[in-house]
Structure 1
Amino acid sequence: MNYRHSFHAGNSADVVKHSLLIALVRALQLKPGALTLIDTHAGCGLYDLAGDAAQRTGEATQGVLRALAAADPLLDAYRAVVQAVNDTAEPRFYPGSPRLLAQLLRPQDVLILNEKHPEDAETLRRVMRDIAAVHRRDAYEFWLAMLPTRTPRGLVVVDPPYEQTDERERITATLAAAQRKWAHGVTMIWFPLKDRATHARWTAQLRRLGLPKLLHVAHWLYDAEQPGLYNGAGLFIVNPPYAFTQPLPPLLAALRAALAPDGHDGTLTAEWLG
């Protein structure tokens, strides 16, 4: 499954991922100590929703545009980061995780980005000039090389395109190695959902790692699996703080309601795997 960011900017997966990323960072920032924020697959940083790639799929209409139109105040934080990169009510641009994280930085925090794709990396350097360091390395080698973080606390965001057949295996192996180096660290791993059987096998593999605090968030868009189609997306979050998990259910309910396709309720749930 090809999930290069530019074709899917602002879709329902981005809305859920970025809403939870905002909530997670803000929960971590309740403590005054410095945070290191690391994005292993950073993409371009900023996306043109009127560009050819985004227009080819049109997925923003079922994602960010629905979220902006929703009345629920629990989505205000997400709406604010989108509106911050736009001059008009209807967004022309969509902030990827790097631009989103840059908006959340405190003076004591550090942002480190990595993007291997040469064109995307060059765009990212322009978008994030004077804001963050940008690397162009293998994402999994980079992930481990950055650990443990120089600050006492940190967050690693792993958001691959899932173009390689062994992507899930590499994530599983790297996560296991990362936990040996940085057992207390927080990690957020994004994934697409295409069929339940494939995802169940991967979930079982991650459960066998025996991580003491592993949260599984899954957003199934449709009331029944749609064979051969994109069915949703989700997150694995390692070591999320209580300040994030305690208020999470109402936020998930608000996101599910805002993003449900016409004729479907869908589900957006969180469960502990360890």
Structure 2
Amino acid sequence: MNYRHSFHAGNSADVVKHSLLIALVRALQQKPGALTLIDTHAGCGLYDLDGEDAQRTGESLQGVLRAFAEPNPLLDDYRAAVQAVNSGTEPQFYPGSPRILAQLLRPQDLLILNEKHPEDAYTLRGVMRGTPAAVHERDAYELWLAMLPPRTARGVVVVDPPYEQPDDRDRITATLAAAHRKWAHGVTVIWYPLKDRATHTRWTGQLRRLGIPKVLGVEHWLYDADQSGIYNGAGLYIVNPPYAFTQALPPMLEALRAVLAPEGHSGEITAAWLGD
């Protein structure tokens, strides 16, 4: 499945991913120790919702614009992160994970970004100018392992590929297994699109067989029944999520489900441990 982010910026998957990523990092920052934040597939870092790619799909209408129209205070941090890159009341620009993570940095934290595509990496460097982020242009899975363990005792790796390559899930599975051997207590966030339940079930089984003790799966299905051959939602696998994050998760998930459910559908968003 090809998921070139410029076409999908600000869609429902971004709202869920970035809302939870902000909550996760903030939960880790309840302790004063430094964090290293690593984004393996950083993309361009900032997207124009009025641009040709985003306008072609119009997916932000069912994502970030719905979140801005919804007063639920549980989404305040997410809306603030988007508003930080905009001057008007309605967002024109959408921050990718690199810009959102940069907003969350404390003086003691580190941010490492990676984008393999040369044009996107060039754009990313411009977008991140003025921030303390280090930008690499390497194979994402090679960099993932090379950066572990990080210089700080704690950290987060965000793995968010476009799923352009048929072996992305296999490479994620193999790299996660190796990464866990190098950095067993590290926090890892893996985003994925949901196109059909059979593919997702097979991959979940592969990840479960790795035997990693604490993997939380968050699944967001947009429709009440699968829509054949199209994007049905997205999810996150989160390795070693902190307790403060998991305890606060149920009401946030319900807020996201209610905001993002397509007309005529109630939608479903769940969180469960892979070992359950």
Q: TM-score, normalised by structure 2?
A: 0.99
Q: Report the counterpart of residue 129 of structure 1 in structure 2.
A: 129
Matched residue, 1:48: 48
* One-letter amino acid of the counterpart of residue 113, structure 1: L
Determine the structure 1 residue equivalent to 2:256: 255
Which residue in 2 is equivalent to 1:21? 21
Amino acid of the residue matched to residue 236 of structure 2? L
CA distance in 2, matches of 1:92, 1:67: 14
Look up the match of 1:236: 237
Q: Distance in 1 between matches of 2:251 and 2:117?
A: 37
Instruction: Kindly indicate whether residue 89 of structure 2 is the aligned counterpart of residue 89 of structure 1.
Output: yes
CA apart distance, 1:5: 1.1
Cα distance in structure 2, aligned partners of 1:7 and 1:108: 34
2:107 is the counterpart of 1:107: yes
- Equivalent in the alignment of 2:139: 138
Deviations 1:173-205 (A, max 9, x none): 000000000000000000000000110000010
Distance between the aligned counterparts of 1:26 and 1:138, measured in 2?
A: 28
Tell me, what secondary structure is at the counterpart of 1:89? coil
Letter in 2 for 1:174: T
What's 2:170 paired with? 169
CA–CA distance in structure 2, aligned partners of residues 123 and 90 of structure 1: 24
2:246 partner amino acid: T
State the distance in 1 between where 2:194 and 2:224 align: 14
SS of aligned partner of 1:98: helix
Identify unmatched segments of 5+ residues in structure 1. Answer: none
Please name the residue that 2:267 is paired with. Answer: 266
| SS of structure 1 residue aligned to 2:230 | coil
Q: Structure 2: any 5+ residue segments left out of the alignment? A: none
Amino acid at match of 2:270: T
Is 1:200–2:201 an aligned residue pair? Answer: yes
SS in 2 for 1:247: helix
Supply the distance in 1 between the matched residues of 2:192 and 2:75 (Cα, whole angstroms). Answer: 22
| Other-structure match for 2:61 | 61
| Alpha-carbon distance, 1:130 to partner | 3.4
For the residues of structure 1 that align with 2:250 and 2:63, how far apart are their CA atoms?
A: 20
1:71 paired residue number: 71
Map of 2:6 onto structure 1? 6
CA distance in 2, matches of 1:179, 1:63: 33
CA offset digits 1:11-60 (Å, max 9, x no partner): 00000000000000000000000000000000000100001110111000
| TM-score, with length taken from structure 1 | 0.99
CA distance, structure 2, for counterparts of residue 262 and residue 79 of structure 1: 22
Correspondence for 2:185? 184
CA distance in 2, matches of 1:38, 1:230: 27
SS of the residue corresponding to residue 31 of structure 2 reads: coil
CA–CA separation in structure 2 for the residues paired with 1:142 and 1:184: 18
Aligned partner of residue 156 in structure 1, secondary structure: strand
Task: Compute the displacement of 1:83 (Å).
Answer: 0.6
Q: Secondary structure at the match of 2:87?
A: coil
Q: What residue identity is the alignment partner of 2:124?
A: L
The one-letter code of the counterpart of 1:89 is T
Give the RMSD, CA atoms, in angstroms.
0.5
In the alignment, the residues of structure 1 paired with residue 160 and residue 7 of structure 2 have an alpha-carbon distance, to the nearest angstrom, of 14
Q: CA–CA distance in 2 between the matches of 1:4 and 1:110?
A: 27
Which residue identity lines up with residue 79 of structure 1 in the other structure? Answer: R
Structure 1 distance, partners of 2:85, 2:115, is 21
**Aligned-pair distance for 1:4?**
1.1
Letter in 1 for 2:176: L
